[in-house]
Amino acid sequence: MKRIIYITLIIVLATISAHAQITFEHRYDSAATGGDIGGNGAGGQLMIINFEVSGYQYVKINKWGKLISIYNMNHSFVKNISYAGLPQPPSAPVILYLSEHLFNTDSAIEFMYLGADVSDIGTTSIYKEDGTLLFYADSAYPLIQVNVPEQQYPIYNTPVGTKMILSYPDGHANVYSLAGILTTAIDRANTTLVNNGAAIGNPRPNPTANTTTIAYSLPPSTNQGELVFYNTQGSEVKRFTVDNTFNSLLISTSDIPAGTYYYNLQLNGDASATKKMVVVK
């Protein structure tokens, strides 16, 4: 009997180990894209947005409850934004481009609100989180050939690791932590390409006790960029301006505690995939 229990325990531990690199983090109810929330099929959304002031945060849109909810990267609640008082189109409105500084210069959340009037004619509005109307266009939609909100993806690179969001038919969404990073492309120098043609490399050495070197390259049309480092709480710990004079940067880690850090290369509002640096003492 003891042998059977022992073998069973080994199988269980092996199963846990095999899945340890994809780790469940958190469940968000009423957040599944396309989920049947409230029985009306309106669905919801769960995404990660890098706000201009607040930084990386989870944004949940409950289309049935007409509510936008914002959470920190540790899943602690920040605030709710209700759009129940806004004009309600015949079908569920589409909410795009949540931001803090895209449409005006204050730090309040703002968003594009696509709906229709009573005649089912398309309208585009831009609202602040308090319901203030910033812009309105009747009979107009921001149409493109493939109209996909670019803020929502299933996998995100963030300063606190790579996150995967999965939606479930009952209306909830789960967040999982992944072991690696999502890259757009890898060249022979083991650098991750940025969409605008720049590239960033892994730390060498990594882990590092005192110094490490990070390779990078900027496109000819760009004079400079910034290497930005974050701790696991998402707080910035280092920032370096880089230019085309060199193709690598020597980083000192003697002034930061041992632990895991993340960094990316930022150019004119675009950021590379996030890389990981481990500091040991």
Nearest-angstrom CA–CA distance, 48 and 157: 9
User: Is the link from the previous residue into 219 a cis peptide, with omega within 30 of 0?
Assistant: no
Structurally, what CATH architecture does the domain formed by 191-279 represent? Sandwich (2.60)
Nearest-angstrom CA–CA distance, 9 and 11: 5
The residue type at 89: P
| Domain extents in the chain | 22-178, 191-279
The residue type at 128: K
Range from 133-137, 141-145, 196-200, 261-265 carrying the lowest mean pLDDT: 141-145
Nearest-angstrom CA–CA distance, 209 and 239: 19
pLDDT in tens, 196-238: 556 788 888 888 989 998 888 877 667 888 899 999 888 889 9
Residue 71 banded pLDDT, cuts 50, 70, 90: very high
Does residue 77 have a pLDDT over 80? yes
- Span 240-264, mean pLDDT? 89
